[in-house]
Amino acid sequence: MRVKIFFVILLLFLFQASITCNPQIDSLKRILNSGSLSDEARFGVLMDITRLISPVSFDSAIKYGLGAMEAANETGNNYNIAAASKLIGTIYYRQYNYVNALDYFQQALRINRELNNLQALPACYNNLGLVYNNLGYYEEALKNHLKQLSYNEGLNNKKGVAISNRHIGNVYNSMGENQKALEYYQNSKTISEQLGDTNSIGTSLINLGVANMSLKNYNTALDNFMQALAIKERLEDTKDIAKIYSNLGVIYRTLEKFELARNYFHKGLELNESMNDKRGMTVSLINLGDVYIDLRKFQMSFDYLKRALVLAQETDLKKSLMEAYKSLSNWYELQGEFKNALDYYKLQASLSDSLFNIEKSRQIKDLQIVYEVEKKDKEILEQSISIQAYQSSQLYFLLAILIILGVASVFYYRYRLKKRVNRELEIKIAEALTKQKEQQQIIVHQASLTSLGELAAGIAHEIKQPLQNISLSNETLDMEIREEEPEMEFIAKTVKDIYEDIKRIKFIINEISNFSRGQQDELCEPFNVNTRIQNAFLLTRTRFANRRIDVKFTLDEHIPEIVGNPYKFEQVIVNFLNNAKDAIEEKAEKTKGDFNKWMTVKSFSDGDDVVVEVSDNGIGISEDCKTNIFLPFFTTKALGKGTGLGLSISLGIIKEMNGFIELESELMKGTTMRVKIPVVAVG
């Protein structure tokens, strides 16, 4: 009865809150639509709407945030542009879209640095540090938080110094260097105590508790969390109280005090439900499921784990979903239901592979960062040349005056000066061009690494399947051997199946090893394009199967061989297949998937040429983009999905084989990439 009353009160509170919030948003919308606002005022209203609506609707927040960015550009006020970039980045960050958040935070930092806006720089470095820490890019996270600390110290911002120390501690905690994390958390707590900042003291105590828990200093950790709990309860900080309950439950479960652990997990669940924090609710449900297993209350454990599974699936919380699969697999194993246990283990392993794709985002971000650095260096060089030209014009004017005093000496001085300036200018230009070339080589090399990174998840899946078969066959074989009269024919067949799976794994490993090594070797040898097409598809096929794309092959068995680097040719086919897959997915997003997804790969002879075609019924390419499609860094893909290097590199590879690439495409109908290479070519 008390629970029902609690939820009724909670619903009334949420309803009242929505009523309170909506009039404010509606009022701002009416002001926005009045049409009487200046650009500056319109920007301010859009920013206010974005902040108010972001906790309610992510899509609406992004829509109004981009509107604020457009208004900021119209005002030409760089401070406004930086503020809009920071706000949009924050919205993406709260939705765990770290790649897009990183783009906008980088833009905010760049503009504030140009403006020399010292007050805004600590927050910029803080945001970048938080993103990199969540991506597991700990060195970059540490570097940005140390810059944040340095600026806050320079500004004598004590509260900022406390926050910086706490975030540096978080990075060290993520890196597993818990002793180092303790030092920074203690620094943060000491500064917060000097400031009398009770909330920050409580947060620092939570951090200290987590670090001590990682170091297995459980009594100290319990003391930290209890002090933090007393502070947060006074402040009515429900979110942090829920975190503390969860951590207390984990410690007591580790100490095998299961009833205490259960009580704290229940308290954490009730608070997370009151806040409608679905991520926190999922974690609490999994913890309760696990502790009820410890208490041997299996039916209650199963009920909580099933609730956690449903909630994780509804909210697409992949890490929580993986933990739910793991706990359910353990539950079924303890019940002796090994088939169900194996099914949930497979689901956990498959989801673990999908989380591997974060590596691809990091590699793409590396390329973008390198490109931005190169672009900035070019701008600096152009400014330097412009300044030197201006200085030279002033010098010429001075020389013209000096001519009146002495023609001979002036002409000699002018000659010597021009010669020296030109020589220095030539040296600087040569150095800049050399640096540009080196950076382009780095970018091309990293693009190859990105291509390998994109294949990693597919390769892992290809290897995981036979490994699972081997594991299952081994368990079956073990059970058969334990029989009083084992069937030798069955044992022989099982051993043969294991051998075939081992051969499959060996083939996959050899193929990716050859592909990787072949990117670096300067090979030039005859090869069959059909074999290379099949190898390329082997490395990528999982990506198409998972997206229900029908791939058909029409390969001419009598096609002649061509000469060149077979592994670089595979890279071209991999690029074409990946681009086709992305185009089909983009069309599916725009049409809500209402079409049959297909792709065809053909090979045939055309006179003295070997022709390979890769066609799809994806989004297609506009006429305006066709002329630029092979240029470096040009891409038609959405932000964070393409580097713009794939087709540029592919064209270079085909030209090395004396061939060329043709493009046929129509918007919303599809694209055909056609490669023509002479039968006899010089690699």
Q: What's the rounded mean pLDDT across residues 4-27?
A: 50
Within 10 angstroms of residue 654's Cβ, the number of other Cβ atoms is 20
Q: What confidence tens digit (pLDDT) does each residue in 192-249 have?
A: 999 999 999 999 999 999 999 999 999 999 999 999 999 999 999 999 999 999 999 9
Q: What confidence tens digit (pLDDT) does each residue in 241-251 have?
A: 999 999 999 99
Q: What is the pLDDT of residue 6?
A: 40
Q: What is the pLDDT of residue 673?
A: 94
pLDDT for residue 471 is more than 80: no
Q: What percent of the chain has pLDDT over 90?
A: 45
Is 228 or 430 the better-scoring residue by pLDDT? 228
Q: What's the rounded mean pLDDT across residues 31-36?
A: 79
Side-by-side strand order, sheet with 660-666: 550-555, 598-606, 609-616, 670-678, 660-666
Q: Between helices 646-656 and 407-481, what is the axis angle to 10°? A: 90
pLDDT for residue 121 is more than 80: yes
Long-range CB contacts for residues 320-323, cutoff 8 Å, separation at least 24: 320/279, 320/282, 320/283, 320/286, 321/351, 322/348, 322/351, 322/352, 322/355, 323/283, 323/286
pLDDT for residue 20 is more than 50: no
Per-residue pLDDT band for 443 (boundaries 50, 70, 90) equals: low
Residues 277/315, Cβ–Cβ less than 8 Å: no
Closest CA to 240 of 224, 255, 254, 253: 224
Q: Between helices 407-481 and 338-354, what is the axis angle to 10°? A: 170
pLDDT for residue 520 is more than 60: no
**Amino acid sitting at position 230:** A
Q: What confidence tens digit (pLDDT) does each residue in 628-646 have?
A: 888 877 777 765 566 667 7
Q: What's the rounded mean pLDDT across residues 531-536?
A: 90
**Amino acid sitting at position 508:** I
Distance from C-alpha of 455 to C-alpha of 144, rounded to nearest angstrom: 31
pLDDT for residue 304 is more than 70: yes
Q: Helix, strand or coil for residue 674?
A: strand
Residues 395/415, Cβ–Cβ less than 8 Å: no
Distance from C-alpha of 390 to C-alpha of 320, rounded to nearest angstrom: 62
Q: What's the rounded mean pLDDT across residues 408-425?
A: 78
Per-residue pLDDT band for 595 (boundaries 50, 70, 90) equals: confident
pLDDT for residue 302 is more than 80: yes
Residues 635/579, Cβ–Cβ less than 8 Å: no
pLDDT for residue 395 is more than 70: yes
Within 10 angstroms of residue 493's Cβ, the number of other Cβ atoms is 12
Distance from C-alpha of 164 to C-alpha of 571, rounded to nearest angstrom: 44
Distance from C-alpha of 118 to C-alpha of 133, rounded to nearest angstrom: 23
pLDDT for residue 21 is more than 60: no
**Amino acid sitting at position 653:** I
Q: What confidence tens digit (pLDDT) does each residue in 660-671 have?
A: 999 999 999 999
Q: What confidence tens digit (pLDDT) does each residue in 101-110 have?
A: 999 999 999 9
Structure tokens at 463: 């290897």
Q: What confidence tens digit (pLDDT) does each residue in 56-77 have?
A: 888 999 999 999 999 999 988 9
Residues 251/218, Cβ–Cβ less than 8 Å: yes
pLDDT for residue 461 is more than 50: yes
Per-residue pLDDT band for 369 (boundaries 50, 70, 90) equals: very low
Closest CA to 29 of 42, 10, 16: 42
Q: Between helices 39-53 and 78-94, what is the axis angle to 10°? A: 10
